[in-house]
Structure 1
Amino acid sequence: MMLCWIPSLAQDQQTEQFSFDFRGQSLSSVLQTIADKTATDMVYDPGIIEGVSVYTRIEDENVPEILRGVLQATSLDFITLSSGTVVIVKKVTDDPSYGSYSGKIVDLSTGEPLPGASVRVTNAPGGTSTGRGGRFALDNLISGSYNIVFSYVGYEPVYKTIDITPNENLREQVELKPEPVDFMPIVVTGHIPQVPMSSEGASIGHRKWRAGSRIPDALRSLSLFSGVQHGLSMADVHLQGGQQGEHRIQLDGVPVYNPFSFGKMFSAFSPYAINKVQIHKAGYDVSEGSQIAGLINLDHELSSMDDHQFLIQADPLSVNIRAEIQVLNKKDSDPALSIMAAARSNYWGVYQEPTLKGTLQQWNELDPLTTNQLVDIEQDASRYEPYKHKSKVRFYDLHLASAYDIDDYQTFSASFYLGENNVTTGLLRQAPPSDDAPRYLKAGDAYYWNNFMGQISYNHLISSRIDLETQVSFTSNRFQHNYSLNGSNDAIVPGFNNLSSESLADAPAFGEYPVDYNLLPNQRNSNRIQHLIARTDATYSFSPQFDLEVGLQADHIRSRINFTDLFYLPTLADQESVLLGNYIKGNWKRGKYWKLSLGNRLTYASAFGRIYAEPRGSIQFDQPDAGIGYWSVRFSGGLYHQFVNQFEVTNPGPTSLVPSFSIWSHEGLSKAPKAWHIGGSFNFQPADETTIKLEGFYKWQPTTYTVSYQNLLREEDINRSTLNAFAETTEMENIGAAIRFHQAVSNARLKFMLGYDFNYNRINLDTQFGRALPASWNEPHRLQVRSLWRFLSDWTAVAKWQTVWGRAWGFRQTYYNYLFFEGGGRFGDFVFTHPEDDRLAPFHQLDLSLSYQPSFDLVDMELRLDLINVLDRRNTIDWSLRPKEESNNEYKIQKRTMPGFHPSLSIQMKF
């Protein structure tokens, strides 16, 4: 047997006191540190301390007490020889007996439960994570002392030592203190370290990092995270190269099908109602459901421990109001009932923000190519000059959330959300005098979106082994679109000055037409989907090393789709279907840092009349003790299906403000959409102030749906009440990689983020173009640089640079999907058969923000100045064609651009 001897100079070990803070160091290095600092001789067998890590804090103790604190949760003890030498030995113990440890992890300042928090036993194998209600359970613990580390993204870890006696069921509530963050909401991704790691750069959101946004937006800021692409001009979100409909946006676990406002320019949620966002990307596990690309879940915020709280925020577009009340328990001071209400509304009728007003007017432009296809006029539409423009924008949303703690282990919660969004534009254009053509062209474009969501949940930690949650929810989402176009010699349009979209089904977009309105060319599109969900999830802990998750879910879905025939062939489909699903997943902890999860999900879909299996798994390893710093690696993958599908149908209207509208369907063709995922991520922290994150994925979709414009425009013999009327199956693949580098300097007063995303995407469009092409939404390369500087205690400056390059499909989608069939696909030297060759110039934008946050006795304030597009770049969104003045057979490109430089000022007060 080989012994290790650590010699030191002798001194009075019994009286002199020392302090130490050990966070995951190996026992050998800990003993060396103690010997060096206290000048103590030590002897031990290296074999008995191998693989032991130490998490403990010791303040002002002598050497014997220091060693007891370090060794108390291990199987080791020490003896002191008469010479003063300390010998580390194994403990002599009786046969083990068992107990359990369970409880709830909550936010220290709010009392809010923290689902997904990590619970790690540092001096023995085992650990777990909290369920949806923030509860955890460790069973079959051998009697003795345990060092436990509780950690969560955005919170300071808590280190506790517990003593388990025979047959004891120890329960307690653990409170985590939020770390100082630069943003809200906190964003959590799938790769969460099992042991504490600095969260520097782990979450970046909108309240302080936000720069270059006219209003706070919980979804738009997610583009800072790898694999999340947010449309440059619209609120389109794509996960890792997938279509919009291949992921689902949820609020408190409930799908919201129209998650945007202001004509799809912003998200439909009040940012001051949201506390946390969870992103599930390639390789997500079976408990999250069935979506090809992933999920984005937003949680309502219940955040104040004060009895009352009130917040008001205003910017050039909207006003936000938030109020919260706490009702305390009679027995103690902890909140028993928390209620939060938030509302947001714009005031376009009172004040029209100049930049957006100008943008709407610029985009409300008559496209001559499409107009000539729709209106029978001898005069080319390009000859008509602008005469009058009107626009109206109205949106609001209401949020209500509450939670009632029945006791420390039972919680009842409920939430409600309602949002509406109306956008209407009207345009009159005047032609040169002519006896043979109408003098005026009249166009109206109106959109209406409505969202409703309500849910109630019950969570119960039944025992140290069983955690149970049940939720019942209902969501209803409605969309209407009206487009009209007419040539006339009459410039009078009754109601034009009172532009309204209140009655889209009965009136055109820009006012009341004469009584023969129904005879005018018009397109009406509408879609409604209603979704009722009941689910139950349970976790059973067999031991600290193994737990089992199971779940049951039932869905009832109804929808209606209706197209009229100005652009597309009439389509009317009423659908009703049922989904019955269940899953089972096992989680194994091997040693201290290995974690393996394997599971399978089974779903019966009545629309397809069969059961679908979705096996998935992941493996993760964390190494906090490496000489190069902390690192963690995770691999995951599996099979994914999708049973509710979104279709982005191109809006061919010549003055269309919104380039496409979303149609939701749960009817089936021959196969359900299917995808195979492989995902990997690597987190590395070489120093406390430095974090590097790498991510890669591959997704193969042998079956996915896409819009069939041939069926929408030409196939009159197809049954117009089925999915075949507007959709077809195809296949797609995505490969991508990303890196995020975070660095803090000057005691974290100055922070940097550098990010790069690469995505390779191919979708088979053989029916339309005869080959596979990069998808129209794909952004092959995206580079971001951000900095945050707290140059004074109340002052913060943020700078953001974004570059996107490699975008194809440069022309309006109407050209590729409508004129391709209706106009022959060729205009002069321009053809629309090779969209991959129509490459847009790179997008570059620099934004600066300055925030001042003073605090007074009764109010906390934030004054914020956003300088958007400081370099005044006119970044191109897409192209259209205009005939050259000297020839009707030759055309030139006209660019539709983003706004140039514009400032924005907002004020927030919190009482």
Structure 2
Amino acid sequence: MDNSTRHRRPGVQTVCGLLLLLFAWLPPAAQAQVGEQYTLAWRGTDLDQALREFQAASGINIVWLPLLAEGKKVYCVARSEPAEEVLKCILSGTGLDFYRRSSGTYVIEPSVEAPPLWGNMRGIVVDAGTGQPVPSAHVFLAEAQRGRVANTSGMFAFDRLLPGDYAVQVSHIGYRTTSLSIEIEPGGSVRPEIRIVAQPVLLAPLVLEGLAMRPSSTLLGFAMMDQEDLTGSLGPGGSALQGLDGLMGVRVNDATADIHIQGGDAGEHQFRLDGAPVFIPLNVASFIGPFSPFALGSIRIHKAGFGAPLGSHISGVIEARHDLRYGGARSGPDGLDGAFGYQSRTLVQGDPLSVNLRHSGSFERTDGTRGSLMAASRVGIWRLSAPSSLVGLLDDWNRIDSFLLSAFADRNTPFSEYPPLGSPEIGFADLHLAGEVKRGLSTLNASLFTGGSRLGNDLGGVSAADPESAVDDIAQFTDIYEWRSTTAQARYNTVLTGRTLGSIQARYSRYGLSHDFVARDLVTLASPEDDGNQMSEAAISAKLDYALADRHYTEFGLELIRTADRVRIAGSQQLPLDHSFTGWRTAVFAQDKIQVGQHAVVELGSRFTFLNARASLYAEPRLAVRLDFPGTRTGDWSFFAGSGIYRQFVNQFDVSSRSPRTFVSSTRFWMAVDSTVAPPKSGHLTGELFWRPTARWSLSAEAHYKRHYHILSIDYSANTDVPALDQDDFLRSSKGHTYGYAAVLKRSLGLGSADLRYEYTVGRRQIAGLFEGRLLDVPWNEPHRLELSANVMPMNRLVLLGRWRLISGRTWGFRQAYYDFMGAYLNDIDRVLDSVIDPGARARVQRQADYYELTNPEEHRLPDLIQMDVGAGYSFEVGSIGMQARLDVINILGRTNTADWRFFQGDGYFDDQSPTGSGILERGRRELLPRVVTFALRFSW
């Protein structure tokens, strides 16, 4: 056997050598002209075929052994290249090389030392139904044991992949796990577009917290709701923000619609829409929100311990994204409408408070360009169809406040019943436009939001300037607030290399407030009055995601921001102000993410912000650890721990109103930090876990501690009568802390679920010069919260919803303006009395402050808030039109819940006709929502 083998090898070598000589000595064909260039392309073509095609196109002689070309593919694009460069392109990644004989013939042979033939994969994950990118999708290569999390544009990249077939698994919350096979050629690059299919979504608000679908610590540290949750939330009007109250660690105030994240104030976080800040105006009651709920695709709330790329804010970040899904099936020939494949969906919904309209569409051209667009609008119809129970509630909120009337009247105005001559006025409207164009692995996205609201008193044409009007009729005044918010942005995302993803964004945000206040000279301090706030912010930012190695990723970013504000708060508020500022700041950030072993990921990052006004650099280091232990004996476990330093460079403030009506109780404005005050600073420490012992049961829990080293607060005792104030003239520093914990136990019920949630939160602040320097509970704190919610589907197309909640431990029970009025005199009752001009009013104020201890707000404990809401929704079709009917009953038990207390003249009070009374105004309550029944009808086609 050895002899035969030994004799066979020379025979094979001899034959191969003779063949090469034969091909080399064939009569030469026409040689390629010197300097001639070629433009050719092959994708997945056999090497043998590609060589023959190039030989025919160029006319040059090429010789090779068929055995060398067997099984090899060519991926080559040559544009105006000479012959040898084209040949290099053809042989790239095949392990072969060439040399040129003196006769001009090119000979193909194995490379002497072939390098590893690495390939790479750069792709995008999109929704199969809409073609929209799916952010944060998990992409896993089983053979390579490597994974990626897609960026915010759905893009991902793997480099240094050995040739072969890879089983790719893609998963995301709310989508079915998708598996497919992708072949990596030697030295090749593939750019797959992976489509994943959304899971069926119910009308019910299925709150997705932490890890509702796939155990992964990457989904901890924030809470999220998608459009179906936002539009399906219980409550009148379908406010886009009202449903956030169902998320762990998030509270939406029933009276003001303000959002509080883990005990933080309403101005300690930032709301963003498609990455651009939105300055949300003051509101009344939680049933009227700033956005059309049908314009938003999702809202994600980042809580304590959020990472460096998310910005500088001391409580959290709320990220909303426009919904560009068209929400319909393809139609027409070949599944397309029109020459360019346009497909669209239109939706209209009417409810007692508003009419919503949405149109969305997508298109795909023959050159591979794909796009989506969306337009949505909302118009308030309060005057036409507001439920009588809500009208009565706001009429009650609009009653004259006798205490403030005494405190700020220029003369001793006697108490009497002052029925309002008009009624509360509520108006709102907004418009959303968004679009996206995708070609290959590049995406251009742009959006615009503009919205306005109008709140105040409509006094039926009564003129305060009419000299014939009765002087003592305090009802004769105008008190109207108007807000306008506008946000626009454009963002470009692309895959730069097999390791690098890049994006650039330009954005602009604007906020405008106008408050017209006109009243009698003898009733208020001045007439007329006008408040205003103009706030604008423009920025350009860039970001790079770079894979240093497998399981090691780095993110870099740069932001250049210009902010301008103008604040004018007139005498109708408790603190007149006149301030303006324009300044620049530059921020850079870096975050490094390293996977340690099989179970841990460490995220280390920092932000550095240079504030031009103070010529100072502020550092914000951040650290987080994520742990995953799937498939243990006790189930799936995931953990998240985070900490860091957080600054805030744009701040929100509310100044209490002197208006004797309580309908709109304050003026809200924004300011960027100027040169006279340091930006607020806080430190975070947080932990979160998710445990799923079985497929039906899960437990989520979190705990947080936030140390507030420096927070800016309004100084009501400041002397602000001079123009062009600096911020240190009317702001003072406060400090304190917030801590708490929460847990949610979830049980799946077929296609529905039931949740049991408990939260405990403590927030305490110490403000220099106020309340004797004591550390007090914050006014917005709600220490104990217990909630039970469920959604079930008893039959096809019908969904039933229910929620019961208890809130206990609220303090600062009186109207905030009372405490701010006392704070204007550093809670010194003697200073308060000296400021009151009329002796009779001075006596009334003293009696109230002493009897009710207005300098001790922690003793003013409000009763527990208990409320039960139910709802039902039914979906059906009428021809080609999809319809949905919705019935909600808020506070079905009709329980009276208290927002705060206020003073009013009771039967026992004495005046000129009853000198033997108590002389004490009675304590009355401002109630929250009564029983409210609403019906909504939705059409889509």
Q: Which amino acid aligns with 1:278?
A: R
Task: Please identify the structure whose Cα radius of gyration is greater.
Answer: 2
Identity %: 27
Matched, 1:536 2:536: no
Kindly indicate whether the alpha-carbon contact (under 8 Å) linking 1:187 and 1:278 is maintained by their aligned counterparts in 2: no
Kindly indicate whether the alpha-carbon contact (under 8 Å) linking 1:211 and 1:847 is maintained by their aligned counterparts in 2: no
Partner of 1:791: 794
**SS at the partner of 1:356?**
helix
Matched, 1:637 2:640: no
1: distance between equivalents of 2:384 and 2:442? 47
Q: Which amino acid aligns with 1:685?
A: R
Shift of 1:400: 0.4
**SS at the partner of 1:242?**
coil
Q: Which amino acid aligns with 1:458?
A: Y
Q: Which moved more, 1:899-908 or 1:153-162?
A: 153-162
Which segments of 5 or more consecutive residues in structure 2 lack a partner in the other structure?
1-113, 331-342, 463-469, 826-831, 834-844, 911-916
Kindly indicate whether the alpha-carbon contact (under 8 Å) linking 2:400 and 2:418 is maintained by their aligned counterparts in 1: no
Matched, 1:370 2:404: yes
Matched, 1:312 2:352: no
Cα gap change, 1:146/1:396 in structure 2, threshold over 3 Å: closer, same or farther?
A: same
**SS at the partner of 1:863?**
strand
- Of the candidates 712, 723, 727, which is equivalent to residue 727 of structure 2? 723
Cα gap change, 1:716/1:625 in structure 2, threshold over 3 Å: closer, same or farther?
A: closer
Cα gap change, 1:523/1:630 in structure 2, threshold over 3 Å: closer, same or farther?
A: same
TM-score normalised over the length of structure 2: 0.78
- Superposed CA offset, 1:261-302 (max 9, x none): 667752211100100112111111111111111110110011
2: distance between equivalents of 1:400 and 1:184? 27
Q: How does 1:593-604 map to 2 (within 5 A)?
A: 593-604=599-610
Partner of 1:343: 377
**SS at the partner of 1:359?**
helix
Q: Which amino acid aligns with 1:692?
A: L
Matched, 1:560 2:566: yes
Q: How does 1:140-219 map to 2 (within 5 A)?
A: 140-144=160-164, 146-182=166-202, 207=228, 210-219=232-241
Kindly indicate whether the alpha-carbon contact (under 8 Å) linking 2:557 and 2:588 is maintained by their aligned counterparts in 1: yes
Partner of 2:59: none
Partner of 2:909: 885
2: distance between equivalents of 1:611 and 1:845? 48
Shift of 1:195: 5.7
Matched, 1:707 2:714: yes
Partner of 2:622: 616
Kindly indicate whether the alpha-carbon contact (under 8 Å) linking 2:284 and 2:664 is maintained by their aligned counterparts in 1: no
Matched, 1:245 2:267: yes
- Of the candidates 684, 691, 698, which is equivalent to residue 691 of structure 2? 684
- Of the candidates 355, 359, 364, which is equivalent to residue 328 of structure 1? 364
Matched, 1:781 2:787: no
Kindly indicate whether the alpha-carbon contact (under 8 Å) linking 2:172 and 2:214 is maintained by their aligned counterparts in 1: no
- Of the candidates 102, 111, 132, which is equivalent to residue 152 of structure 2? 132
Which segments of 5 or more consecutive residues in structure 1 lack a partner in the other structure?
1-93, 430-435, 490-517
Q: Which amino acid aligns with 2:349?
A: Q
Matched, 1:275 2:311: no
- Of the candidates 723, 732, 738, which is equivalent to residue 734 of structure 1? 738
What is the number of equivalent residue pairs in this alignment?
775
Cα gap change, 1:906/1:616 in structure 2, threshold over 3 Å: closer, same or farther?
A: same
- Of the candidates 516, 520, 537, which is equivalent to residue 486 of structure 1? 520
Q: Which amino acid aligns with 2:731?
A: A
TM-score normalised over the length of structure 1: 0.80
Kindly indicate whether the alpha-carbon contact (under 8 Å) linking 1:402 and 1:415 is maintained by their aligned counterparts in 2: yes
Q: Which amino acid aligns with 1:799?
A: G
Q: Which amino acid aligns with 2:920?
A: E
- Superposed CA offset, 1:159-178 (max 9, x none): 34444444232321111211
1: distance between equivalents of 2:894 and 2:881? 36
Q: Which amino acid aligns with 2:739?
A: I
Cα gap change, 1:378/1:301 in structure 2, threshold over 3 Å: closer, same or farther?
A: same
Kindly indicate whether the alpha-carbon contact (under 8 Å) linking 2:814 and 2:860 is maintained by their aligned counterparts in 1: yes
Kindly indicate whether the alpha-carbon contact (under 8 Å) linking 2:757 and 2:786 is maintained by their aligned counterparts in 1: yes
Kindly indicate whether the alpha-carbon contact (under 8 Å) linking 1:853 and 1:860 is maintained by their aligned counterparts in 2: yes
1: distance between equivalents of 2:681 and 2:652? 14
- Of the candidates 117, 120, 125, which is equivalent to residue 140 of structure 2? 120
1: distance between equivalents of 2:729 and 2:677? 14
Partner of 1:580: 586
Kindly indicate whether the alpha-carbon contact (under 8 Å) linking 2:257 and 2:284 is maintained by their aligned counterparts in 1: no
- Superposed CA offset, 1:830-873 (max 9, x none): 12111111000000110110111012431111100101110001
- Of the candidates 487, 490, 495, which is equivalent to residue 461 of structure 1? 495
Partner of 2:769: 767
**SS at the partner of 2:394?**
helix
**SS at the partner of 2:637?**
strand
Q: Which moved more, 1:645-654 or 1:286-295?
A: 645-654
**SS at the partner of 2:245?**
helix
Partner of 2:821: 818
Kindly indicate whether the alpha-carbon contact (under 8 Å) linking 1:882 and 1:892 is maintained by their aligned counterparts in 2: yes
Cα gap change, 1:538/1:188 in structure 2, threshold over 3 Å: closer, same or farther?
A: farther
Shift of 1:826: 5.3
**SS at the partner of 1:817?**
helix
Matched, 1:897 2:903: no
Cα gap change, 1:183/1:694 in structure 2, threshold over 3 Å: closer, same or farther?
A: farther
Q: Which amino acid aligns with 1:743?
A: R
Q: Which moved more, 1:202-211 or 1:725-734?
A: 202-211
Kindly indicate whether the alpha-carbon contact (under 8 Å) linking 1:282 and 1:677 is maintained by their aligned counterparts in 2: yes
Partner of 1:571: 577
Q: Which amino acid aligns with 1:701?
A: H
Q: Which amino acid aligns with 2:764?
A: R
Kindly indicate whether the alpha-carbon contact (under 8 Å) linking 2:418 and 2:475 is maintained by their aligned counterparts in 1: no
**SS at the partner of 1:362?**
helix
Partner of 1:412: 444
Kindly indicate whether the alpha-carbon contact (under 8 Å) linking 1:377 and 1:438 is maintained by their aligned counterparts in 2: no
Matched, 1:422 2:454: yes
2: distance between equivalents of 1:193 and 1:791? 23
Cα gap change, 1:183/1:134 in structure 2, threshold over 3 Å: closer, same or farther?
A: farther
2: distance between equivalents of 1:557 and 1:101? 41
2: distance between equivalents of 1:537 and 1:184? 37
Matched, 1:672 2:701: no
2: distance between equivalents of 1:259 and 1:101? 46
Kindly indicate whether the alpha-carbon contact (under 8 Å) linking 1:147 and 1:160 is maintained by their aligned counterparts in 2: yes
1: distance between equivalents of 2:509 and 2:147? 36
Partner of 2:757: 755
RMSD between aligned residues:
2.9
**SS at the partner of 1:350?**
helix
- Of the candidates 527, 531, 536, which is equivalent to residue 533 of structure 2? 527
Kindly indicate whether the alpha-carbon contact (under 8 Å) linking 1:315 and 1:907 is maintained by their aligned counterparts in 2: yes
Q: Which amino acid aligns with 1:340?
A: M
Cα gap change, 1:595/1:148 in structure 2, threshold over 3 Å: closer, same or farther?
A: farther
Cα gap change, 1:316/1:442 in structure 2, threshold over 3 Å: closer, same or farther?
A: same
Q: Which amino acid aligns with 1:151?
A: S
Shift of 1:350: 3.3
2: distance between equivalents of 1:192 and 1:797? 20
Partner of 1:607: 613
2: distance between equivalents of 1:374 and 1:596? 57
